[in-house]
Amino acid sequence: MITLIMKKNYKSRYFIDKQVQRLKFLLILIFLFIVFLPFYLSTCLLYAEISADTKASDSYDISAKSKKEKVSYYISKGNEYLMQGEYSNAIECYNKAKQLKRKDHKIHLLLGEAYRLADMKDESIQAYNESLRQGSEDIRIYLGLGNIYTLKYLYEESKRYYQKALEINKNNITALRGLAEIYEHISRYEDAFLLYEKIYSVDSSHEMKLKIVFLNILLGKYDNAEKYPENTSQFKILSGYINLKKNPKYAISEFASTEDNILKVIAYIEAKDMINAKKYLEILKNQSENTLSKKLAVALYENIK
């Protein structure tokens, strides 16, 4: 009997405790709601006011302008959006300008640029072509078309446009780079190399250097490749590869400070150091990123086992 009463008391106390806890939680919520609601509402109002102000001033600005002024307004607004990376807004503005003035190659060029940046390839090609049809000879059209056709894997067209850009300015770096990349894609390494060398004379960046070294290796000109020493990971991979062909032991020291990659494993195997080869093979196998080195390590591990 006593134990039954105790059990009952225990149950009712537990029930009360739980209710109190719930009440406390509810009170906290109400408190937070009361405190933050005005802030939230005032922020909403402020934003609404700002956007209403902007819209109102915009519509006032537009309605008060002449057709010519409207066109330049939409163009400058579009340019502003383009600079900010808001491509869809830029496209909207340029299209409004286009509706007001259909025969203006500059608007079509800008539209082409905005579509290109928004990755709308076909629309961009159409706009650029319209600009060309209307008599524009702006180099940006050829550069833009070259870029888009490369992204569409249509290298012949791309090459044609980059060459046209070079007819306008034979030293245009974007066109030279675009053309060099195409040659690289279609394994015309000698042609790509000559262009990268030309670019390197004005832009001796790390990237250009890497391209030159890489192409020298692909062309089998290891001695030329070694003329451009650098201390970065990718350069070490390349110099490691050169040493792999000459002396695997040196290759190992080159690869020591790079990201783990399959060439490191190959260097150990060729230096007959199977313990380290297996060690790095396992490291690569367990990598989280699905890199080419990982895939090759998995395949090689099966063979070595």
Partner 1 sequence: MPQDEALNRKNIKVLLLAACCLLFLFCSPGKIYSNNDNLIRELLWKDFLFLNKTRPKIAVVLGGGGARGFSHIGVLKALQENNIPIDIIVGTSAGALIGGLYASGMDITKIEELGKDVGWNEISDLSMFRMLTLITAESLLSNNKLEKYLAKHIGKKRFDELEIPFACIACDIKTGERIIFKDGEAGFAMMVSATIPGVFKPVEYRHRLLIDGGIVDNLPVDIARILGADYIIAVYPKADFSLIDIKSILMTLYQVINIQGSFLIAEQLNNADFAIIPDVKDVGSIDLNRSKECIESGLVSTRSIINNIKDKILEKYINLIIKKP
Residues lying near partner 1 in the complex (CB under 8 A) are found at 46, 49-51, 53-54, 57, 84-85, 152-155, 185-187, 214, 217-218, 233-234, 237-238, 241, 259, 261-263, 266, 269-270, 272, 274, 289, 291-293, 295-296, 298-300, 303
- CA 269, 274, 276: angle at the middle one, nearest 5? 95
- Minimum CB separation from partner 1 for residue 178, in Å? 16
Here the tokens at position 18 are: 């739980």
- Minimum CB separation from partner 1 for residue 253, in Å? 18
- In the complex with partner 1, the residue whose CB is nearer, 102 or 185, is 185
Phi/psi of residue 230, nearest 5 degrees: -145, 165
> Around Cβ 53, how many Cβ atoms within 10 Å?
10
- Minimum CB separation from partner 1 for residue 143, in Å? 21
Q: Say how far apart CA 257 and CA 47 lie, in whole Å.
A: 53
List CB contacts of 193: < 8 A, sequence separation 6 or more.
212, 215, 216, 219
- In the complex with partner 1, the residue whose CB is nearer, 98 or 236, is 236
- CA 174, 179, 181: angle at the middle one, nearest 5? 95
HSE-CB for 175 with a 13 A CA cutoff: 20
- Minimum CB separation from partner 1 for residue 126, in Å? 18
Here the tokens at position 200 are: 């390197």
- In the complex with partner 1, the residue whose CB is nearer, 141 or 263, is 263
- In the complex with partner 1, the residue whose CB is nearer, 171 or 205, is 205
- Minimum CB separation from partner 1 for residue 49, in Å? 7
- In the complex with partner 1, the residue whose CB is nearer, 57 or 59, is 57
